Amino acid sequence: MHSGDLLPALKALAHETRLRMVEQLLAHNLCVGALAWRLGISEAAASQHLQILRKAGLVKGEKQGYWTHYAVQSEELRRVADRLGSLPDQAGRLRDLNLELCSGDSANPRKGGE
C-alpha cells in the first residue's frame, strides 16, 4: 500500500461520525437504522457516511433478508493501521538518504547546496 492507496481510507476516517461508525461496526454488524439511532443521526446521513466508508474499502454490506447489515473490512483497516505504523521507519530511511545525498560526497553531482 503506497500513500495514494492510504488517502481514501484516511479521508473517510477523518470525519468524527464515520470514525464512530467504524467503532460501532467493530463491535456489531448493524443496519443503517441501528447505526443512525446509535449515533443520533438521520438514516439518510448514515447512508451517506456508509457510502464513503464503502468506497474507501473500510466497510461492506451484506443483505440479510430485507435489511443490509454493515461490517468493517478488518483486513483493510489493519492494512491502514500497519501503513501508518510504518511511517516513522520510512521517515528514518528518507532522512538517512537525504543526509547521504547532502553530505558533500564528491560523487554527488548536487554537491555544494544546489
Domain ranges of the chain: 3-86
Q: State the CATH class of domain 3-86.
A: mainly alpha
- pLDDT on residue 10: 94
- pLDDT on residue 96: 61
- pLDDT on residue 107: 55
Dihedral, 80, 33, 47, 12 alpha carbons, nearest 10: -20
8 A C-beta contact, residue 32 and residue 68: yes
10-residue block means of pLDDT along the chain (114 residues)?
Answer: 74 97 97 97 98 97 94 95 83 62 58 50
Calpha distance 13→17 (Å, rounded): 9
Predicted model pTM: 0.75
